[in-house]
Amino acid sequence: MSDTPSGGPIPPSPAPAPSPAALRKPAWLRVALPSGDNWKRTSELLRRRGLHTVCDEARCPNKAECWGQATATFMIMGAVCTRGCRFCAVATARAGEPLRPEEPAELAEAVAELGLKYAVITSVDRDDLPDRGAGHFAQAIRAVLGRNPGVRVEALTPDYAEGEIEAVLDSGPAVFAHNIEVVERLQRVRDARASYAKSLRCLELAARDGRAVVKSSIMLGLGETEAEVLAAMDDLRRVGCSSLVLGQYLRPTPDQLEVSEYLPPEAFARLAGIARGKGFVSVVAAPLARTSYHARAGFEEARP
């Protein structure tokens, strides 16, 4: 990310990304391989209950740490997404997998078996469903809360609009999260059905509802300027977002976009300070930070 001063000229497009040979992954991005009894227990439980996690499907770099602590971000409505964002490794198709009516109950039992106090639920996009899966999402949240009194649920949802988002909000999530993913100029890396404006509107609707902490995330290292990151922060604050995650984009496989830049930890720390100065109550900013990474700590910090 270049250090263009806020308010300075913004280039029309990012510079060509360096080749993989020229841009080597720095030491601070090295992660451990999954190991230990908790990891094995989590893996076996997910297989037994037919559940998916974004940890596996999106090849999250924090899988070893999170699964080692018996935590996971559950991904509902199958492992096939109807959108094809250029940074994502989740499988795509015109239609997703058939919804499993038993999935909410299986998810609730998995949360109980793991002894979680904070559960993150996300999903693939389901543009093939009449309500884009909002009703099923709400059922999953209600099942988890009904089976696990005292558990907090964070819902990381698609860009639900009016007529869809209400069901999710009514189901009782403590945190409503939706990611703008990248700065406004780089939105073309998302599926054409997504947009910066739609994402901001989704977050605004959740903030207006007022019952959940509202959260979003921005990936860095795709050619954005600092001015653009600060502008995105301002846009998120304007619509009522109070919790922010900043993380380094990492190329999941050779089929996805190349990394333009690896930001050092001190750059994330500096941006975190700026974000707090803009009014974000909770900020998680680090090279390996992802929306659900340290999610419970972020909620504890952000809740009134």
Per-residue pLDDT reduced to its tens digit, 44-99? 777 776 666 654 444 555 444 544 444 568 899 998 999 999 999 889 999 999 99
57 within domain boundaries: yes
What is the chain's mean pLDDT, rounded? 84
The whole-number average pLDDT for the span 244-262 is: 93
Identify the band that residue 16 occupies on the pLDDT scale cut at 50, 70 and 90: very low
CATH number for 148: 3.20.20.70
Percentage of residues in the chain with pLDDT exceeding 90?
64
User: Has residue 5 been placed in a domain?
Assistant: no
Residue with the larger pLDDT of the pair 79 and 216? 216
Any domain includes 47:
yes
Number of compact structural domains in the chain: 1
Are the C-beta atoms of residues 38 and 46 closer than 8 Å to each other?
Answer: no
Identify the residue with better confidence: 11 or 290: 290
For residue 169, is pLDDT > 90? yes
- Cβ within 8 Å of residue 3, ≥6 positions away: 225, 226
100, pLDDT greater than 70: yes
Average pLDDT over residues 235-244: 97
- The reported pLDDT for the residue numbered 301 is 58
Place 233 in a pLDDT band, splitting at 50, 70 and 90: very high
In a domain, 254, yes or no: yes
Inter-axis angle of helices 37-49 and 103-114, nearest 10: 160
pLDDT computed for residue 252 by the predictor: 86
Please give the C-alpha separations between residue 258 and each of 62, 253, 266, in angstroms, as whole numbers: 20, 9, 22
User: What residue numbers bound the domain in which 56 lies?
Assistant: 32-302
Give a yes or no: residue 182 inside a domain: yes
Asked if the model's pLDDT at residue 14 lies above 50, the reply is no
Look at residue 17 and tell me if it is in a domain.
no
Q: pLDDT tens across 85-96, in order?
A: 999 988 999 999
Separation of first and last alpha carbons in the chain? 33
Q: The pTM is what?
A: 0.83
Token reading at 125: 């996009």
| Residue 157 counted as domain residue | yes
**Residue 167: predicted pLDDT:** 98
- 12-26, 101-115, 210-224, 290-304: range with lowest mean pLDDT: 12-26
How do strand 243-248 and strand 118-123 relate by DSSP bridges? Answer: unpaired
Angstrom distances, CA of residue 42 to CA of 17, 151, 177, 226 = 37, 18, 24, 39
Q: CA geometry: angle at 63 spanning 148 and 290, to 5°?
A: 85
Task: Categorize the per-residue pLDDT at 248 as very low, low, confident or very high, splitting at 50, 70 and 90.
Answer: very high
* 124 pLDDT higher than 90: yes
Q: Give residue for tokens 């990474």.
A: 293
Cα atoms in the Cβ-side hemisphere of radius 13 Å centred on 271: 32
Question: What's the whole-number mean pLDDT along residues 2-20?
Answer: 43
53 located within any domain: yes
